[in-house]
Amino acid sequence: MKNLQPVPAKKFKKSAVISLEKGKLPPQALDLEEAVLGAMMIDKKGVDDVIDILHPEVFYKETHQHIYEAIYTLFQNSEPTDLLTVANQLRKTGNLELVGGDFYLVGLTQKVSSSAHIEFHARIILQKYIQRKLISISAEIIEEAYDETVDVFDLLDDAETKLFEVTQGNLKKGSEDAQGLVSQAIKKIQEISNKQGMSGVATGFNRLDELTSGWQPSDLVILAARPGMGKTAFVMSMAKNMAIDFDTPVAIFSLEMSSVQLITRMISSETGISSGKLRKGNLEPHEWEQLNVKVKNLSKAPIFIDDTPSLSIFDLRAKARRLASQHGIKVIVIDYLQLMTAGSSSGGNREQEISTISRNLKALAKELAIPVIALSQLSRAVETRGGSKRPLLSDLRESGAIEQDADIVSFIFRPEYYGLTEWDDEERTPCEGQAEFIVAKHRNGGLENIRLKFTGHLAQFSNLDEDFGNEFHSKMNSAISAGNMTSPQDAFGAPDNLDDGDVPF
């Protein structure tokens, strides 16, 4: 009978959690921590150079955390920071013996002779901290990913939130000197002169572009109105102008309407076929031909629509970054702000949540250096107010932070919505088929009420040709004088019958 040999044990690969938690020394730079703390205690300039870069948690050694905390407290109180004052501050908090007493502090000051290169050293310490933080977050995500009771979308949201907090809390931009900034400004002015004064993204609305020179990079633009005024119709008309007329890539985040509904509005505006007919599919043969021909420009336009409902600000940032890197988007449109959420980590009431959202939208605009246009609702105070019911800044709903964070706050006002037939100006001009784009706050420019044409059955905003009446009379008089017409129809042709019975929306 053969002797049975023991079966060797199988070798299993270590799990990701084990490799992250055991057997590896966390990233650290203790020698640099000692050098930075020593330099801060012997040279005031060292404190000034790194106090806005570091915070106590970035130090790996707990002893160093307590010492830096003492230095930071002295700096906040505008007190001198040297060996004696730091020791005294540690004594007040009861941490002097914990860090090793005066002997340890003296040892730190003896390790360096000046604060030269202290900022470079501090940034290495910060890098090590970020590495440790990423390892910790990754380990937590791995552990939660194995938990079947955790919702996967909550897990994604939580992961993005934690990573976003690391970025926001530690990656800070330094200041720039005047020489570099002046050269950048002159270069930008030269570029603007080549674009005939259009320094931003053109909207296709002439008077608006003249006022703003286009939507400017890093600007947060708020467009507010009561429901039914045409907020979505305006931004879709604007997006169509940008993408088709100026070949500008546009990203639209729609939290209210589906992507197919939005593109159908654009098709209606581009083809001139009423949205009612498109919804019903009740098109004449020539309209089908018109649809197939005119929709080609729209199908090639660089427009990207995301209709994720209840989008969080963290999801928006992640999606926007991807669109910016992959497709080079130049404008972001959000429809609309009050439907967004601040994420699972948000606390407090709705007003605080809206404040968080608006603040992060401004940060996103600065980060990507593109304009962010966010639609917003107005309060019911507009409806109860007498007079023309023209909206005011105080009507912005749920948070004053929206007005504070925005570079431009604008409103859409259509008198027809309230049954008015005339504008409230001195001439009492008719307001049928017209709207007013009100620039109520403009951080870098003037304020103005700009009148636009509104075509309800196409859900379309366009330029209001104020000189059309003068041009009409001039052309008609010239034709009559030349004896080439007997009626106005001979000069302009019979008007098309555009009334298909559809109700504007």
Residue the block writes with tokens 């044409």: 453
Residue the block writes with tokens 């305006």: 234
Pairing type for strands 448-455 and 460-463 reads antiparallel
Say which residues have a Cβ less than 8 Å from residue 326's Cβ, sequence separation at least 6: none
Tokens of 481: 């004088």
DSSP structure class, residue 254: E
- The whole-angstrom separation of Cα 11 and Cα 116 is 51
- The whole-angstrom separation of Cα 191 and Cα 105 is 55
Q: Which amino acid is at 117?
A: H
- The whole-angstrom separation of Cα 151 and Cα 116 is 50
Q: Say whether 403 is catalytic.
A: no
Helix, strand, coil shares, percent, the chain, to 5: 50, 10, 35
430: exposed, middle or buried (C-beta count within 10 Å: 0-12, 13-18, 19+)? Answer: exposed
Say which residues have a Cβ less than 8 Å from residue 118's Cβ, sequence separation at least 6: 35, 36, 39, 40, 46, 49, 50
Phi then psi for residue 471, to 5 deg, are -65, -40
The answer to whether 230 and 414 are in contact (CB under 8 A) is yes
Pairing type for strands 220-225 and 250-254 reads unpaired
What is the full DSSP assignment across 275-300?
Answer: HHHHHHT---HHHHHHHHHHHHHHHT
Q: Which of 119, 143, 144, 256 is catalytic?
A: 256
CA angle 146, 157, 329 (to 5 degrees): 130
From 433, 333, 382, 361, select the one nearest 227 (Cα to Cα): 382
Buried b (16+ CB within 10 A) or exposed e, 118-141: beebbeebbebbbebbeeebbeee
Q: Which amino acid is at 331?
A: V
The answer to whether 416 and 436 are in contact (CB under 8 A) is no
CA 347 to chain centre: 21
Bridge partners for 252 per DSSP: 305, 333
Catalytic residue numbers read 256
